[in-house]
Amino acid sequence: MKRLLEHLEPHVDRLLAFALGAGYLVLLLATSGSLGFTRDEGFYFAASRAYGAWLDLLVHHPSQALARDAIDRYWSVNHEHPSLIKLLFAISNRALGAAFAETSASFRFPAMLLSGIAVATTYDWGRRRYGRSAAVVAALSFAFMPHVFFHAHLACFDLPVCALWLVTSYVYARSLETPRLGWVLGAGVAYGLLLDTKHNSWIFPFALLLHFALTRALPFLRDLRAGRSAWRRLPPAWASMLLLGPLLCFALWPWLWHDTWPRLREYVAFHMGHEYYNMEFLGRTYWKPPMPHGYAWLMTLATVPAITLLLAAIGGSVAIQRRERRPDYALWAVSILASYAPWLSSGTPIFGGTKHWLTAYPFLCLFAGLGFTRVMAAFHGLRPRLTQPAALMACVLVGPITMALHAHPFGLSAYTPLVGGAPGAASLGLNRTFWGYTTQSLLPFINQRAPRRGTIYVHDTALQSFAMFQEDARLRPDLRGSLNIAASDIALFHYEPHMSRVEQQIWLEYNSISPDAIAAYDGVPIAWAYTRKR
């Protein structure tokens, strides 16, 4: 046994990183079946099926697949978002579909896998900077942020872009540390994947520029003034990211293969002029600018466990005091700043809640790990053994883990004790839910009460998501989803203030103000259903 341990010792950290990532993936897969499908997932399921069909064509009739009309036909679906993640959903569904109990899990798997990679990367980066125990704290603090745990399940882009931002930063940091060709090229490849994931990637270069300004600008300027070759101070990874990144993004996104510039312009224009959806914040519904300046900050305070935030604050102060590891700490800090930066403008939409700045969270947790080292230092040499790292880790992790697991499957309704939990947040007028995924919690009622071949008014649930409930055999196959209340036998309502008019229409149409089933989280109604009395 001892020999085995000695043999394993050099590999412990790799094994631990793998165990953390794989363990998280297993947990996500185990809990996916009880989480409903968000609106956006419905659209991405449909897009992935189209891309999958194109892949089939590519395999069997490559020349047809590469013709413009085929590309336009298959890739115009959801072309306002980059292709990579949907392509991975499609590949996973086609190649691994049989391995999963539910079709939805095969679509969700790549995003879950990337979430696991993000947890493992957080651990590895933390371990390199401050050791094993604190790195575990960083990784698990990230994994069990309640909103991260929710988003990590979804066939969406929010955790994937968070994971790829982290991985790209990690590879970039390694390329600065040891500018070997592998890391330099790796940074370019990682950035290409990030570019082809979500438009958050556009902010990433600004983070790197700021990082350069903070860490290398002075020697760069000195060299410049002295007439020395200042360009040698530029990170070699920049060249690779500038060249490889866009090329890889282009190569993996067939929609851009024709009419490249107009389509790129359309992509940029879509996100720069994105429609403002409604979002409740402190009792007011915002649907047009100016958006509240405090939104991102208050929502972070209200949804990230306070212990994680406190540790991150301690870690931040430690980072400021320390002279070593500055480039890494600076990179973590600029990633956080860059992730939140769009919400310094009151013109930036807030409709997606916390998912908009998820890219900041692994870095916040890396600082939390750093803060944990300071807490451990304060207990150094103390007795009893309760003050040993494992006990301290348990103290700072048991809260986040409990909260995240407790919030499932109502992830977006999860709020921390700082605002009084879900009841406190509802009283404060913070968003209770969106995306229509809580239909899942009403399925037992629908399955039991809907008439044979009945029609369900799905409200905020996308019809494609409704169809996936049936494909996964969570919902009776004889039922029909509809957007017409008047034609329905059961009407669902997902609570958001601006949608109250939907419930009011149900009252009149069904001649009843009394819900027949309510899905509640910690005593707060989230979604409810009415049945037509005949």
Partner 1 sequence: MSAPRPWSWLLGLVPLLGLGELGMHQYFARRAPGFQDYAALAPRLLKLKQPGVPVVVAPAWAEPLLRQAAPSAFPLEELARADDSVFEGFLEVSVLGHTAPELSGFPVERSWRFGSFAVALRKNPHPTPSRFDFVAAVAAGQVEVFSDRDGEREMCPLAANAHTSTGGLHGHVAYPRQRFACHRGSFAGVGLIDDQNYRARRCILVQPPASGRLVLRFNGAPAFEKLRGHAGFSYFLERDRASAQVELGAEQDGKVLGAVRLAGAQGWSSFEWPAAGAADSVELSVRALAPGPQDFCFALEAR
Return the number of the residue (17 or 311) whose C-beta is nearest partner 1: 311
Number of Cβ atoms within 10 Å of the Cβ of 59 = 10
Question: Residue 450 CB, nearest distance to partner 1 (Å)?
Answer: 18
Cβ pair 444, 477 in contact under 8 A: no
Instruction: Indicate the residue type of 223.
Output: D
Nearer to partner 1, 99 or 378 (CB): 378
Measured from the CB atom, the residue of 384 and 477 that comes closer to partner 1 is 384
Nearer residue to partner 1 within complex by CB, 97 or 420: 420
Instruction: Identify the residue whose tokens are 């009622």.
Output: 445
Residue nearer to partner 1 on the CB measure, 224 or 508: 508
Tell me which residues touch partner 1 (CB under 8 A).
Answer: 285, 287-288, 305-307, 310-311, 314, 321-322, 373-375, 377-380, 391-392, 395-399, 402-403, 406, 416-417, 420-424, 426-427, 432, 457, 459-460, 483-486, 495, 497-502, 504-509, 512-516, 518, 520, 522-525, 528
Query: CB-wise, 333 or 393, nearer to partner 1?
Result: 393
| Cβ closest to partner 1, residue 70 vs residue 506 | 506
In the complex with partner 1, which residue's Cβ is closer, 257 or 379? Answer: 379
Cβ count within 10 A of residue 14: 13
Where are any strands of DSSP class E within 259-406? 279-281, 284-286
Cβ distance 83 to 75 under 8 Å? yes
Closest CB 230 distance from partner 1, rounded Å: 35
CB of 394 vs partner 1, minimal distance in Å: 8
Query: Minimum CB separation from partner 1 for residue 476, in Å?
Result: 23
Q: Which is nearer to partner 1, 357 or 372 (CB)?
A: 372
Query: Do residues 107 and 364 make contact, with C-beta atoms less than 8 angstroms apart?
Result: no
Q: Which residues contact residue 176 at a Cβ distance below 8 angstroms, ignoring those fewer than 6 apart?
A: 235, 237, 327
List the one residue out of 242, 192, 223 whose CA is nearest residue 83.
192
State in angstroms the smallest separation of the CB of 486 from partner 1. Answer: 5
Min separation Cβ 391 and partner 1, Å:
8
Of 148, 173, 177, the residue nearest 163 (C-alpha):
148
Q: Minimum distance between the CB of residue 465 and partner 1, rounded to whole angstroms?
A: 15
Q: Give, in order, the Cα–Cα distances in Å from 185 to each of 5, 52, 195, 236.
A: 35, 29, 15, 9
CB-based contact 279:355 (threshold 8 Å): no
Continuous segment of H or E residues that includes residue 153: none
Give min distance, CB of 349 to partner 1, in A: 16
Contact 233, 223 (CB under 8 A): yes
Write the single-letter amino acid at 486: A
**Greatest Cα-to-Cα distance within the chain, rounded to the nearest angstrom:** 88
State the virtual CA torsion across 421, 424, 425, 426 in degrees, nearest 10.
120
Nearer to partner 1, 192 or 369 (CB): 369
Report, in Å, the least distance between residue 532 CB and partner 1. Answer: 12
Smaller CB separation from partner 1, 433 or 440? 433
Tokens of 411: 């992830």
Q: What order of strands is seen across the sheet that includes strand 490-494?
A: 480-482, 455-457, 490-494, 524-531, 517-521
Q: Do residues 175 and 184 touch, judged by C-beta distance below 8 A?
A: yes
The least CB distance from residue 107 to partner 1, in Å, is 26
**Shortest Å, Cβ 428 to partner 1:** 10
Gap between the Cα atoms of 526 and 524, Å rounded:
6
Residue 351: alpha-carbon gap to chain centroid: 15
Q: Which three-class secondary structure state does DSSP give residue 265?
A: helix
